[in-house]
Chains A and B, each alone.
Chain A
Amino acid sequence: MEVKPKKKQKLKLPASSEEFFQKIAGLASFAVKFLIELFKPPYEINETLKQFFMIGYKSFPLVAITGFIIGLTLTLQSIPTLDKFGAASLVPSMVALAVILEIGPVITSLIFAGKIGSGIGAELGSMKVTEQIDSMEVSGTNPFKYLVVTRIFAATLMLPILVILADAIALFGGFLAINIFDYTSLKTYLVSAMANITFSDIIPAVTKTFLFGMSIGVVGCYEGYNASRGTESVGIAANTAVVISSLMVILIDMVMVQLASIIF
């Protein structure tokens, strides 16, 4: 009897699930590739600086306005509520905790994802569609290093700075909001705001923003870099980049908060 060789069974999953896992694998490999390429010379310093400027500096006004309004409204809404409990004096402390620990990093990252994630996705997507990336490869330039590594690195380093500035602006917004109700000196406000904040609050809050920035950069670049060859794919790439990077921010936040509570 002839023994039939066993046929290798192919993993069968619904089309959407297949796509989902493919994407996860693609993103992971993309991230690993980024980390490998990051430390490999040559370094695209000028392009990196340019991306710092484009991603960091250019996002600052948007982030600043958002931060200011968040600090202002959070304070304005907290005062009447806390006043009911006779704890109006805890408003600065509460606003500072909320802004520095959670709202500042997450909101800034979401805004950042909306602006930078979509921007990178669309830019790289259009470059892909117009075959600029292919031509780069032909001309001997490593497009991954030149286009992807610089953007992800810029996003990773610029987001923490943006978050820190946004936190500071949000606290200033809170200070102005308190002065609408009552007069408080900036020093008193700062002392009260910082009363309950310790290193164990600041370090995880800042650390996670690096991961947020990196994930936004990775998702944006991945979506743009792997856009298919149609014009509409540029839009899809931009859209998917925003959706996925926003989701990533929220997921990473959840994990990091839990991790921080374990470590600190």
Chain B
Amino acid sequence: MGMDKSKLIKLGIFITLGLAVFVFGIFYIGSKDNLFTDTFEVYSIFSSVSGLAEGNNVQFAGINVGTVKAIDILATDKIRVTMSIQEKVKEFIKKDSETTINSEGLVGNKVLTIYGGTPGSTPVESGDSIHSVKPAELGDIIKNLEKSSKEAEVIAQQITEITMKVNNGEGTLGKLVNNSDLYDNLDSLTANVANSTESIDRILAQTSSTINTVTSDIQELTVSIKLITDNIGEITTKMNSSQSLVGTLLTDTVFANDIKGVLRNTNQTTANLEMGSFSFYQNMEALKHNFLFKGYFEDLGYWDKTEFTNVMETRENRILNKENELDQKEVELRDMQKKLELMRNELQRKLDSLNANK
């Protein structure tokens, strides 16, 4: 008893379809569980796994990279979680990475998260242990919340107390809030500040005008300096042209020699005068010793040998001094001559530079 062909084909399609769906499901879930990819194993030690179960996902940078393969209790506070992780992400998980247990959503599945790791450090190897960070337990969070709420209660109470004090006008803040003096003071202060601002504005305006004046003065000064410089130029030119006394002094060496001669003559004259006066003195001494006039001089007290000697010495010294002075004058004249020479050179240079600037 055979079956016709169309029925066989239908049956074949039916079975194939069923098996195809089954195989698809197997492979889909298999790929999710990393059954058909190369994997390696690492582990972490936790004190509590917070409900993590075998088969839960292992995430790295938010990507599912593996599953929890086994959870074993090693000691009271030592639970070893073995992870099966895809070989292809091995290079990205470093030896200094850390693991923790998180929830997918507030009440979702637990996931083991691998994070951190210094770029460039050594990647993990199969069988390595990754340092674990204690997961935040819901119980701990609630405990912390309880603590926080108690503290908040205390704070609220204190705030109430402060508010009451403020309302009653106690303390600095209370006075500040309830006393209007401060406001009045502030008001007047504001008015003062406004006045001050006006004054400052005025001062600023004045300063501005002063600065303007100064600027214009400076401009004028510059013009004056220009004029002066021009005048100096003219003067220098005139000096050089030997029309003036100074020019003559500076330029004419003959004139300088004449002055020198005059000075020398003057000195000679002075010396002659000294000599004349000395001769006169001798004549007068002779008169004193003359018997005709002797009585007269004796009465006056002039007849004294020592005194005469002294006077003589004094005269002599004075003459010597004069001589010295004359020598000095000569030296000075020479210096002056040199200085004049220098000044002439200097003026000549300045004149040249002025001419060049023009």
Contact = CB atoms under 8 A, between A and B. Distances in A.
A173 interface: no
Contacts of B107: 87
Interface string A40-53: 00000011011011
Given A49-B11, A56-B11, A57-B11, A199 B29 contact: yes
B35 interface: yes
A13 B11 CA distance: 48
A8 B35 CA distance: 62
A206 interface: yes
A49 B1 CA distance: 11
A194 B28 contact: yes
Between B3, B8, B109, the greatest number of chain A beta carbons within 10 A of the residue's beta carbon is seen for B3
B11 A164 contact: no
Interface string B1-32: 11100011011001101110110011011101
B25 A198 contact: no
A124 B21 CA distance: 33
A59 to B, nearest CB: 10
A162 B28 CA distance: 20
Given A47-B1, A164-B18, A198-B55, A53 B25 contact: no
Contacts of A199: 26, 29-30, 33, 35
Interface string B39-57: 0000000000000000100
Interface residues of A, number: 27
A198 B29 CA distance: 6
A60 B22 CA distance: 16
Contacts, number: 66
A171 to B, nearest CB: 10
A161 interface: yes
Nearest to A60: B14
Interface in A103-154: none
Contacts of B105: 87
Contacts of A90: 108
Given A46-B1, A202-B25, A53 B109 contact: no
A164 B18 CA distance: 6
Contacts of B7: 50, 53, 57
B15 to A, nearest CB: 6
Nearest to B19: A161
Contact of A198 (B10, B19, B21, B33): B33
Given A57-B14, A198-B33, A199-B33, A164 B3 contact: no
Between B2, B18, B32, the greatest number of chain A beta carbons within 10 A of the residue's beta carbon is seen for B18
The A contact surface, by secondary structure, is: helix
B198 to A, nearest CB: 65
B109 A196 contact: yes
A198 to B, nearest CB: 5
A53 B11 contact: yes
Given A53-B10, A56-B11, A165 B29 contact: no
Given A56-B11, A161-B14, A202 B21 contact: no
A27 interface: no
Contact of B3 (A53, A162, A196, A200): A53
B77 to A, nearest CB: 29
A164 B25 contact: yes
Nearest to A100: B25
Given A49-B8, A197-B29, A198-B29, A161 B15 contact: yes
B33 A50 contact: no
Contacts of A49: 3, 8, 11
Given A46-B1, A168-B21, A202 B29 contact: yes
A160 B3 CA distance: 23
A199 B67 CA distance: 13
Contact of A161 (B1, B18, B28, B109): B18
Given A161-B14, A161-B15, A46 B22 contact: no
A211 B1 CA distance: 28
Contacts of A52: 11, 15
B26 A202 contact: yes
B9 to A, nearest CB: 10
A202 B33 CA distance: 13
Given A57-B10, A198-B55, A46 B3 contact: yes
Contacts of B11: 49, 52-53, 56-57
B29 A194 contact: yes
B34 to A, nearest CB: 11
B23 to A, nearest CB: 10
Contacts of A164: 18, 21-22, 25
B3 A165 contact: no
Interface string B332-348: 00000000000000000
24 contacts: A47-B1, A49-B3, A50-B3, A50-B7, A56-B11, A56-B14, A56-B15, A57-B7, A57-B10, A57-B11, A57-B14, A160-B18, A160-B22, A161-B15, A161-B18, A164-B25, A165-B17, A165-B21, A167-B21, A194-B29, A198-B33, A199-B29, A199-B35, A200-B55
User: Which 4 A-B residue pairings sit nearest by Cβ, starting from the closest?
Assistant: A161-B18, A53-B11, A57-B14, A168-B21
